[in-house]
Structure 1
Amino acid sequence: MNKHFNYGEDHLTVEITLGLARGTVKGVLSENTLKKIKKSQADVQEIVASQRTVYGVNTGFGILANKSISEEDTRTLQYKILQSHSVGVGDNIPPEIAKIMLITKLHALARGYSGVQLTTLERILWHIENNVIPVVPEKGSVGASGDLAPLSHLFLPLIGLGEVEYRGEITATSRVLERTGLEPVQLGPKEGLALINGTQFILSYAVKCVERFFNCLEIADVIGAMSLESLQGTKAPFDARLHELRPFAGNQLVAQRLRVLLRDSEIMESHVDCERVQDPYSLRCMPQVHGAARNAWLHLKELTETELNSVTDNPIIFSSNDTISGGNFHGQPMALPLDYACFAAAELGNISDRRCYLLLEGKFGLPMLLMNDVGLNSGFMIPQYTTAALVTENKTLCFPASADSVPTSLGQEDHVSMGSISGRKLYKILDNLEYILAIELMSACQAIEFRRPLKSSVLLEEAHEFVRRKVSFAKEDRIFAEDIKEIKRMVQDYSFVKNMKEAARAQQTELNQNYSTFTINL
């Protein structure tokens, strides 16, 4: 990955965005970008001087677009818009997402179509580089006219208002400016509107969800293969010839991964001549279900990267004589794929819960509830209650927010995307999915030990060993919540997937052969 990124000029990807947020990539404003920024800002100044009416430059906002604003009041107008639109409520969003909002907004403004002055962009860059992250409430955006409320909170610190997280503490912006010797930015014409018009709240949730969802997809294939081994399932449904007859890319990728994960397994070879005809769908149909979720993830990733390099301001300033008031701020292009991803992530949890249930039935040589002495012990019965609760909660979160619209701004903004809700729902579904997968992983590790002395493949044995470094085999009941929490940590911090990739590399085995579009670096 390029360690330097030119805002407003280079192509932004999910990986680069995350690198900028985590300090592994340094973002800069190139000379070419500076020229575009200064030219656009000069265009706005020329519009003001000419007294030609342009929305948001010398007019009110929304339903107040027909209200003219005098030249002397245009600066005051920008200050007031940040105040009046800061109406967010609820918990604060994660600081990393707020930082990604800063990064994506800076990139969009640096394209040079928004009329923003250089000093404003330099202050946003200062916030990014010094980890002075604005506090942004999670609720209040309807996902059209831009993410107005969250973006207003995001940029209150520019004018010395609001709160920021600085050195691990939430504090008033005014205190931080005082400590650092900085003054509030004096916003020029149109700048307030340019700052809060855009989809950066929706987009930043999408960026983070692309990363987290990918991690869950990678884990699900490994855990599913471990459950299959524990249940003495067959690898025949993963034959490449079968999937060439229905060549969805995600399906073919999952089938290929499962073939690699199960290669040279003693457990698999031990029952090749058994009398079972077919496995349950949650084992047999992993390529179709996991693969469909992969396809949904890829769709979200591709559209997210389109949005990362888009200008979602309004109006767009092409020149002092050429401005267009359009609808690039509307969140529908992201709301729909985010809702689609909600369904896919929820289904990944559904099929995982089904495999948890299969592992408990006491079939195919496994003890009922995955413990020899049940009765006195409840075994692994109750962890599956938790997966059942979580998959049901995820189902309730699958109502597509983008299917609803409530008029705002006295009907001027009469169709909105609600995409901010789509992004937050997906984030919550992924929280639940990580727990579901952790519980299946805990159960599969328990189950596979009942196949000893036979061993699984080298890769699956490594997966089992990685878990066993932190969570031991359960001979009797204990507080399984502690085990779940420990395994969830392996899932959430990406260490499980990273370990599997290292193990595959050591075996000179490619888990994602010929499917580079389906990968990102965690």
Structure 2
Amino acid sequence: MTVLQLDGENLNIESLKDFLGNTESTVEITEEAYQKVDDSRKVVDKIIDQEKTIYGITTGFGLFCDVLISKEKVKDLQVNLIRSHACGVGKPFDEPVALLMMVLRLNTMLKGHSGVTRDLVDQLQLFINKRIIPVVPEQGSLGASGDLAPLSHMALTLIGEGEVFYLGERQPTHNVLESLGIESITLQAKEGLALINGTQPMTAQGVINYIEAEKMMQDSFWIASLTHQGLNGITDAYNHQIHESRGYPEQIYAAQQMLDYLEGSELTTRQGDLRVQDGYSLRCIPQVHGASLQTLKYVKEKLEIEMNAANDNPLIFSEDEVFSGGNFHGQPIAIAMDLLKIGVAEIANISERRIERLVNPALNGDLPAFLSPEEGLQSGAMILQYAAASLVSENKTLAHPASVDSIPSSANQEDHVSMGTIGSRHARDIINNTRNVLATELFIALTAVEIKGIDKLSPKTFEKFKEYRLIADFIDQDRNFSYEINDLSTALREML
């Protein structure tokens, strides 16, 4: 069983991947983190006792920041905040995303700048470890002032309101807590704001985006290698001297991946054997796939900073240093997600071009037109290219950067926002579309190499052929191909 230690400082994507990969994994809070929580809470209690004017503790929110709240009403202020801001719409985030939201929000609080109580961090830990997962609508956040609407839905569940997923069922929170003998908590001063001023929805979805995109980009090499062999592609384009002469590490890596997968193949050619050069979708795999890998490096760096960041407001540093700022602004993650969208969309773009080469009789060498078993009578893989082209075109729309948009809110007090959660959701959609395009390329390439002779495949791709041929059959007659494409896509996603 995986135990994830939380201290506000040391989360990384690999540890979260391990946590998500084990349904019995738990989180633990270090004693040092508890001490930081206690110290910051003492500052909040003193502010209330002395009736100081501090945003969100003894004042209203947004444009109401100049409205003072009496000592007797500070608890009501927090509950009203959560209820009024829980106005998200649309389908819920996937359960792993909502689970990660809680983990990331808890980790932020453990930095000791949020002024929350032990009761609140313990409640979050309990929900995480019991897998009481909030139902969080995925639409309705501007990505600044925090992901207010989605995090409010998460916060509602801690006080026994809203809905949760538990044991695979969507249920009212109070029913689940009652069945488990768990009491809801009463939010203290500052705690409602501490729960919702943050970037956890966009970051949680971003982490899962990264994990899936990283695997998918690795899969794209061996899938492209199958296509390369089906088309008797030229290996000279992957010569290390070409790529070292340019200098991009990711391009060099991509070229080496192709050579590794193709080593020992009897289906590849050298320049001049059949043709002098291949089309760009084969010849430029290292350049294109390598550039997409560069986006992953940037995205990972920003996600790992953000998951260990203090991103609420105000932040407590000492008794005399409580500052209002804007760490809740999601611009760093918004730009990272927009960049990821472009990087992943390009993997689909070049994959679809390889699909075209496999099915087009003017480009596929001696393969049948559209890999049809009976040209004219049966269409074979003809419309599979149409479907891939549709997904690629949809990706181009989704790839429009969310981060360049902004709409003022709260009567222009909050006059620039990131739209980072929209960017993160669209990145997820592009990843899903791209996986389907790669599954389509794989489906067609499996038939192409079988026509050419699987005994001539490189050893590494022959192993992949055997593994995925169990999921999808040879194109020996027209049939409903969607089932096999979907099954291949699911397998590519699940074989993490």
| Structure 2 residue aligned with 1:262 | 262
> For the structure 1 residues 238 and 86, does the alpha-carbon distance in structure 2 shift closer, same or farther, using more than 3 Å as the test?
same
Amino acid at match of 2:115: G
TM-superposed deviation, 1:3: 4.2
| Structure 1 residue aligned with 2:149 | 149
| Structure 1 residue aligned with 2:289 | 290
| Structure 2 residue aligned with 1:85 | 85
What are the equivalent positions in structure 2 for 1:410-489 lying under 5 Å apart?
A: 410-452=411-453, 454-489=455-490
Q: How many angstroms apart in 1 are the aligned matches of 2:198 and 2:169?
A: 28
- Contact (CA 8 Å) 2:271, 2:277: kept in 1 or not? no
- Contact (CA 8 Å) 2:8, 2:109: kept in 1 or not? no
Q: Which runs of 4+ in 1 moved over 6 A?
A: none
Q: Residue 114 of structure 1: SS of its match in structure 2?
A: coil
| Structure 2 residue aligned with 1:390 | 391
| Structure 2 residue aligned with 1:378 | 379
Q: How many angstroms apart in 2 are the aligned matches of 1:438 and 1:274?
A: 30
TM-superposed deviation, 1:180: 1.9
Cα deviation code 1:273-325 (max 9, x no counterpart): 51411100000000111111100111111111111111101000012211110
| Structure 1 residue aligned with 2:227 | 227
Q: How many angstroms apart in 2 are the aligned matches of 1:491 and 1:454?
A: 24
| Structure 1 residue aligned with 2:347 | 348
Q: How many angstroms apart in 1 are the aligned matches of 2:393 and 2:85?
A: 36
Amino acid at match of 1:452: G
Q: Residue 146 of structure 1: SS of its match in structure 2?
A: coil
TM-superposed deviation, 1:237: 1.1
Q: How many angstroms apart in 2 are the aligned matches of 1:442 and 1:425?
A: 26
TM-superposed deviation, 1:208: 0.4
Structure 1, 131-140 or 247-256: larger mean CA deviation: 247-256
Q: How many angstroms apart in 2 are the aligned matches of 1:162 and 1:304?
A: 29
TM-superposed deviation, 1:243: 0.7
| Structure 2 residue aligned with 1:8 | 7
Q: How many angstroms apart in 1 are the aligned matches of 2:140 and 2:327?
A: 20
Q: How many angstroms apart in 2 are the aligned matches of 1:290 and 1:220?
A: 8
TM-superposed deviation, 1:121: 0.7
Q: Residue 28 of structure 1: SS of its match in structure 2?
A: strand
For the aligned residues, what is the CA RMSD?
A: 1.4
Q: How many angstroms apart in 1 are the aligned matches of 2:41 and 2:300?
A: 32
| Structure 1 residue aligned with 2:131 | 131
Cα deviation code 1:234-272 (max 9, x no counterpart): 111111111111111211111110110111111125x66
What are the equivalent positions in structure 2 for 1:329-368 lying under 5 Å apart?
A: 329-362=328-361, 363-368=364-369
- Contact (CA 8 Å) 1:296, 1:340: kept in 2 or not? yes
Q: How many angstroms apart in 2 are the aligned matches of 1:275 and 1:122?
A: 67
TM-superposed deviation, 1:24: 6.1
Cα deviation code 1:357-381 (max 9, x no counterpart): 0001223211111134111100110
TM-superposed deviation, 1:26: 3.2
Q: How many angstroms apart in 2 are the aligned matches of 1:451 and 1:6?
A: 52
- Contact (CA 8 Å) 2:330, 2:420: kept in 1 or not? yes
TM-superposed deviation, 1:160: 1.4
- Contact (CA 8 Å) 2:380, 2:477: kept in 1 or not? yes
Q: Residue 390 of structure 1: SS of its match in structure 2?
A: helix
| Structure 1 residue aligned with 2:298 | 299
Q: How many angstroms apart in 2 are the aligned matches of 1:371 and 1:112?
A: 64
Amino acid at match of 2:193: L
TM-superposed deviation, 1:209: 0.2
Q: Residue 264 of structure 1: SS of its match in structure 2?
A: coil
| Structure 2 residue aligned with 1:501 | none
| Structure 1 residue aligned with 2:68 | 68
What are the equivalent positions in structure 2 for 1:310-329 lying under 5 Å apart?
A: 310-329=309-328
- Contact (CA 8 Å) 1:88, 1:139: kept in 2 or not? yes
TM-superposed deviation, 1:114: 0.4
- Contact (CA 8 Å) 1:8, 1:112: kept in 2 or not? no
> For the structure 1 residues 302 and 24, does the alpha-carbon distance in structure 2 shift closer, same or farther, using more than 3 Å as the test?
farther
| Structure 2 residue aligned with 1:33 | 33
Q: How many angstroms apart in 1 are the aligned matches of 2:425 and 2:366?
A: 43
Amino acid at match of 2:343: A
Cα deviation code 1:458-496 (max 9, x no counterpart): 0011111111112221211111111112211211112xx
Q: How many angstroms apart in 2 are the aligned matches of 1:58 and 1:9?
A: 26
| Structure 2 residue aligned with 1:244 | 244
Q: How many angstroms apart in 2 are the aligned matches of 1:192 and 1:295?
A: 38
> For the structure 1 residues 486 and 339, does the alpha-carbon distance in structure 2 shift closer, same or farther, using more than 3 Å as the test?
same
| Structure 1 residue aligned with 2:107 | 107
> For the structure 1 residues 24 and 261, does the alpha-carbon distance in structure 2 shift closer, same or farther, using more than 3 Å as the test?
farther
Q: How many angstroms apart in 2 are the aligned matches of 1:493 and 1:112?
A: 37
Residue 18 in structure 1 maps to residue 17 in structure 2: yes
Amino acid at match of 1:465: K
Q: How many angstroms apart in 2 are the aligned matches of 1:447 and 1:437?
A: 15
TM-superposed deviation, 1:65: 0.4
Q: Residue 266 of structure 1: SS of its match in structure 2?
A: coil
> For the structure 1 residues 105 and 453, does the alpha-carbon distance in structure 2 shift closer, same or farther, using more than 3 Å as the test?
closer
Q: How many angstroms apart in 1 are the aligned matches of 2:2 and 2:223?
A: 34
Q: How many angstroms apart in 1 are the aligned matches of 2:27 and 2:166?
A: 20
Structure 1, 170-179 or 194-203: larger mean CA deviation: 170-179
Q: How many angstroms apart in 2 are the aligned matches of 1:185 and 1:19?
A: 30
Q: Residue 411 of structure 1: SS of its match in structure 2?
A: coil
Cα deviation code 1:397-443 (max 9, x no counterpart): 11111011000010000000000100000001111111100000001
- Contact (CA 8 Å) 1:267, 1:454: kept in 2 or not? no
Structure 1, 471-480 or 422-431: larger mean CA deviation: 471-480
TM-superposed deviation, 1:73: 0.5
Q: How many angstroms apart in 1 are the aligned matches of 2:280 and 2:44?
A: 61
Q: How many angstroms apart in 2 are the aligned matches of 1:207 and 1:441?
A: 26
Structure 1, 406-415 or 246-255: larger mean CA deviation: 246-255
Q: How many angstroms apart in 1 are the aligned matches of 2:63 and 2:79?
A: 19
Amino acid at match of 1:45: D
- Contact (CA 8 Å) 1:8, 1:109: kept in 2 or not? no
Q: How many angstroms apart in 2 are the aligned matches of 1:375 and 1:150?
A: 53
Q: How many angstroms apart in 2 are the aligned matches of 1:391 and 1:328?
A: 35
Amino acid at match of 2:389: A
Q: How many angstroms apart in 2 are the aligned matches of 1:345 and 1:139?
A: 22
TM-superposed deviation, 1:10: 4.9
Structure 1, 4-13 or 91-100: larger mean CA deviation: 4-13
Where does structure 1 lack aligned partners over 5 or more consecutive residues?
495-521
> For the structure 1 residues 267 and 320, does the alpha-carbon distance in structure 2 shift closer, same or farther, using more than 3 Å as the test?
same
Residue 58 in structure 1 maps to residue 55 in structure 2: no
